Amino acid sequence: MNHPDIVIVGGGMAGASLGAELAAHAHVVVLEMEDRAGYHATGRSVAFWEETYGGPVVQPLTTASGPMLSAPDPEFHDGSFLSPRGTLHIGRPGDEPRRDAFLDAFAGRVDLQPVDPVALVPGLRPGWTLGVMEASCQDIDVAALHQSYLRKLERLGGEVRLATRLEAARREEGGWRIETRDGAIHCGLLVNAAGAWADDVARACGVAPVGITPLRRTVVQIDVPDLPSPDLPLIMDMQARFYFKPEGRNRIWLTPHDEEPSPPCDAAPEELAVAEAVARFEEAVDWGIGRIVHRWAGLRSFAPDRAPVYGFDPTAPGFFWFAGQGGFGIQTAPAAALLAAAIITGAASPSAIASVDSRAYCPDRFR
Ligand SMILES: Cc1cc2nc3c(=O)[nH]c(=O)nc-3n(C[C@H](O)[C@H](O)[C@H](O)COP(=O)(O)OP(=O)(O)OC[C@H]3O[C@@H](n4cnc5c(N)ncnc54)[C@H](O)[C@@H]3O)c2cc1C
């Protein structure tokens, strides 16, 4: 049927989660240009839920998502998507102002405890004397979360069309005419959840871009024969030069925290970033390095102010932005999807997101 109420462009975490929340209210079609949903940023994340990640503007979305991730609707998923991890933020002399600003920014919002990192991390190199423990951080089962949203969408009558790209769209009486290689689709509302392609999709619809910039992030999985314990926290540099976390008994996931601007594409890791990741890891701990098992890169897409962009475009009736999820689009997905669905349907905000103020995310700020 080519006259759905709502077309969502993008079948990653953003499109799937919002589609699932809207499907009870409207006929929703999600267009995904790849053969499988979740191929781009969603399938490449480091999979943690950390309340401070993304800064104070993002934190209310992350915090509100926590209970929904740990106790999801049993009709669509059995058990929690989260498992305990904790984050230890580490720093060296000179990082005190950074540490203090970090503690101040989240005072009264997130439980952060100054600690001695040496006592917590066997093999920490000399000089790492500052520590802040963020015990609430959890790992997320990203694939299970994404699949549960797709299941909910389809059970409620929604549809995902794979290998179907929005080529162009234009306004018509009552909504939009969307061109795909399989023909035109007519809908009342067009949602832009296209991740790194969000500005391109806007242009293809005749809507001015808001300045979403994809930034490449590299991840390496390395065997570490002397990993002291698989239960160590995520270890994050206060200067944002690296973070790593154990994965099983002798392996870590590691990133040099790179943010290289990139056109939207199938991102691939660069050798230099991989080498930087390894060098920074070795600066932090003496656990040794084994085989690099896997390396990948993905695009994290940011608006100019690094806050997400959720809302109707004031210059284009029936065009809704759900973009700019940066490095926090998984951990914020439940709250963000509820928020956007409430704006679209005009319903009152559910109590689960009572603490979230949507004005911070409104696209009006770029118009
Ligand atoms: C290395 C890395 C680590 C990360 N770690 C974390 C983490 O630990 N925790 C966290 O919360 N977040 C993390 N993130 C961020 C998170 O992955 C993203 O914020 C999230 O996946 C964004 O979801 P999305 O649906 O907006 O984008 P995507 O998953 O990229 O989906 C957008 C989709 O739109 C499709 N599309 C584009 N144009 C069109 C078109 N014209 N027609 C049809 N389809 C189109 C694309 O094919 C794509 O599948 C990380 C990201 C990276 C890269």
Taking residues 237-261, what's their average pLDDT? 97
Taking residues 104-117, what's their average pLDDT? 98
Q: What is the pLDDT of residue 119?
A: 96
What percentage of the chain exceeds 90 in pLDDT?
A: 99
Ligand 1 atom closest to the Cα of residue 31 is 43
**Ligand 1 proximity of 300 Cβ (cutoff 6 Å):** yes
The contacts of residue 340 (CB under 8 Å, 6+ apart) are 18, 21, 191, 310, 311, 320, 322
Q: How confident is the model at residue 1 (pLDDT cuts 50, 70, 90)?
A: low
Q: For 323-345, what is each residue's pLDDT tens digit?
A: 999 999 999 999 999 999 999 99
Q: For 40-55, what is each residue's pLDDT tens digit?
A: 999 999 999 999 999 9
- For residue 323, report the distance from its CA to the centre of ligand 1, in Å: 9
**Ligand 1 proximity of 7 Cβ (cutoff 6 Å):** no
- For residue 117, report the distance from its CA to the centre of ligand 1, in Å: 33
- For residue 213, report the distance from its CA to the centre of ligand 1, in Å: 13
**Ligand 1 proximity of 137 Cβ (cutoff 6 Å):** no
Q: For 163-195, what is each residue's pLDDT tens digit?
A: 999 999 999 999 999 999 999 999 999 999 999
Q: Which domains does the chain have, with CATH numbers?
A: 6-65+142-210+307-366 (3.50.50.60), 87-135+213-302 (3.30.9.10)
pLDDT at 285 over 70: yes
Q: What is the pLDDT of residue 109?
A: 97
**Residue from 13, 30, 62, 160 to probe ligand 1 pocket by mutation (most atoms less than 8 Å from CB):** 13
**Ligand 1 proximity of 61 Cβ (cutoff 6 Å):** no
3-state secondary structure the chain: CCCCCEEEECCCHHHHHHHHHHCCCCCEEEECCCCCCCCCHHHHCCCEECCCCCCCCCHHHHHHHHHHHHCCCCCCCCCCCEEECCEEEEECCCCHHHHHHHHHHCCCCCCCEEECHHHHCCCECCCCCEEEEECCCEEECHHHHHHHHHHHHHHCCCEEECCCCCCEEEEECCEEEEEECCEEEEECEEEECCHHHHHHHHHHCCCCCCCCEEEEEEEEEEECCCCCCCCCCEEEECCCCCEEEECCCCEEEEECCCCEECCCCCCCCCHHHHHHHHHHHHHHECCCCCCEEEEEEEEEEECCCCCCEEEECCCCCCEEEEECCCCCCCCCHHHHHHHHHHHHHCCCCCHHHCCCCHHHHCHHHHC
CA distances for 295 relative to 1, 42, 242, 258, 262, angstroms: 41, 16, 15, 14, 18
